[in-house]
Structure 1
């Protein structure tokens, strides 16, 4: 397998730093010409990424350079925040990244998008997708996206990886606090009545039982988990959104997006321990689905996960323990893209892991 990664830090964002990262990865992969390159840069490169992209193309002797800038980037070896850096995965042999126009209908698309380029029509255009959204925690700040060694005006990468078998899945990483209950009354973004009860009262009760205290509900850690049926939620085929505010007087809860009467809703709690356990299970399930040891992997992780818990990226640690020495690359973004129950979803606080095994041509 002619695939390898490298991660290089520097004092400033320069094309030389990027060329060095590509050269190291090429040496590790034992190739002199790459079929394609996945190039991830920190936000210091975002205002003018083209010199860095061109340097990567020259060092790899190819024009198939895809990627983006992001607040944080990583490989299987380490992660970087708040410092100029380049993470590179080079591809040789029969495995390569190709633009989506060449893909077959059943191939899952590698998708990278700037926050302002996301729209529901494109997200669910009939192609199953996996990937992430470049940008900081609130979708602001500098970011850039590129393919074919050029920064794109569309703000999106639509590509696929040829010559491989793929297994991909989202790891949500939260604990369900309540069983699914049917929504009976809404008002725009407000949930007004849930299973004949106040939504806030149900949430407060569930939090009190879980925390064994009278502490206020930590809204920033809560998730609204919803689907068209209770069975879908129980089987992990659900959507999720953030809680924005609560109304102590009416018992209503305001969400980041509107839900509808007849849908089912559960309250979930973001938690580091459960996030780790869920990613461990996800990694094991994907390896089993793939049916062989993966040759490389991609990980798209939320800015609210990884090292943002306690300064250690437990997600990377788990994957390295389960799949030692596997080349891995990814970034921390402000939205993760995965296909769940036949529909592409833009997820918060999740990690989307994709594992690949080369398809033998012999």
Structure 2
């Protein structure tokens, strides 16, 4: 067993921090049965005033080479003993501790502040030197950042530049911490920036990024755009330069006429734009789009502003989001993952879900229940975020209203 990758998790809802720490440490150590290489801790914001006490309590009970984590408005972990189930605890006291035995995996924990980041014109080596991990090691990353960390998009762009092909998952905390901070990294509590861990070697991380939307209508190509404003679009099937060009508002009004009454009502407050991330994929599917907010409409010009830059030639499609769409989206992606990977289990999994999901959709344990239906054996832990980090295509993005799963297993030799 000592040479086998193993993840375990324990979740406590005890109101006393000391009692919660004792419970998660005792249960996780009993399950693991050998020294851990990595610890991941997620603690609910109801404990915010006691965040400075968490790491000293854990260090008294555990000897961990690497321990990272954060606070969150909701906490995900495994409840029950001996039969465990995934629980999403929202708005209540909770502490989740994951311990992992990772033979053949090299771990490197780090904290970065905005002042540390290289200029975006810097070479990849500058980012690798900052993080402290050689790109040749092909690491994967778990990242947790404060919501006021304004350089998060620069960081993700820099990490993609320095570590192309590396998986990066995580999320922004809810900002709790009573001025003390809520980012934990190897015995220290941080108030700003980002904490993370790089994992390289005998570990594969696969992702499911469920943005909670379903496409409506047909795909379009951007004919004319300026920064984040779409000025002219045309149906994807139309020939370049044809008379089928229209303003986005005209296309949207025509699309709305073909929707059901229920979807037209939903479009009044839950309409989004999906930007296709592949230039070449002929048949676009759910998961192929980066979902962005529709920020505003110019009724006179018919232009539409969205929450990202646009450029001529990009493919876009309008989307709707609600609880049913979110469930369908996640289930579609889980089925596809299972069919493509052939896997129904993993060593461990991480879940980073938007604060607006879960009970916000009227159902507790909303995403984790679906996840367990397809990945039947894997301890899951994580937290509810103010923004979720995960890849779409080969690029890492900061999302909203999304659930990101990082699924970990040993490499198959």
Which TM class, normalised by the smaller chain length? 0.7 to 0.9
Residue 55 of structure 1 corresponds to 57
Residue 153 of structure 2 corresponds to 120
TM-score between both structures, scaled by the size of structure 2:
0.75
- Is 1:108 the counterpart of 2:140 in the alignment? yes
Alignment deviations for residues 58-86 of structure 1 (CA, whole Å, 9 cap, x no partner): 32222421111111111242111112211
- Is 1:20 the counterpart of 2:23 in the alignment? yes
Residue 380 of structure 2 corresponds to 328
Structure 2 regions of 5+ residues with no counterpart? 79-85, 110-131, 235-244
In angstroms, what is the RMSD of aligned CA positions?
A: 3.0
Tell me how far apart the structure 2 counterparts of residues 93 and 158 of structure 1 sit (CA, whole Å).
13
Tell me how far apart the structure 2 counterparts of residues 15 and 70 of structure 1 sit (CA, whole Å).
19
Larger radius of gyration: 2
1:137-148 superposed matches below 5 A: 142=177, 144-148=182-186
Tell me how far apart the structure 1 counterparts of residues 210 and 298 of structure 2 sit (CA, whole Å).
31
Structure 1 regions of 5+ residues with no counterpart? none
Query: Which of 287, 290, 305 is residue 239 of structure 1 equivalent to?
Result: 290
Tell me how far apart the structure 1 counterparts of residues 195 and 342 of structure 2 sit (CA, whole Å).
31
Aligned residues: 356
Shift of residue 211 of structure 1?
2.3
CA contact (8 A) 2:144 2:170 kept: yes
1:72-91 superposed matches below 5 A: 72-76=74-78, 77-91=86-100
Cα distance, 1:360–1:259 mapped onto 2, change above 3 Å: closer
CA contact (8 A) 1:34 1:90 kept: yes
TM-score between both structures, scaled by the size of structure 1:
0.85
Tell me how far apart the structure 2 counterparts of residues 85 and 214 of structure 1 sit (CA, whole Å).
37
Tell me how far apart the structure 2 counterparts of residues 3 and 303 of structure 1 sit (CA, whole Å).
25
Tell me how far apart the structure 1 counterparts of residues 105 and 91 of structure 2 sit (CA, whole Å).
30
1:134-213 superposed matches below 5 A: 134-136=172-174, 142=177, 144-152=182-190, 154-160=193-199, 163-195=202-234, 196-212=245-261
Tell me how far apart the structure 1 counterparts of residues 200 and 336 of structure 2 sit (CA, whole Å).
21
CA contact (8 A) 2:138 2:201 kept: no
Alignment deviations for residues 251-305 of structure 1 (CA, whole Å, 9 cap, x no partner): 3333223423443321111133332233223334444555553122112122222
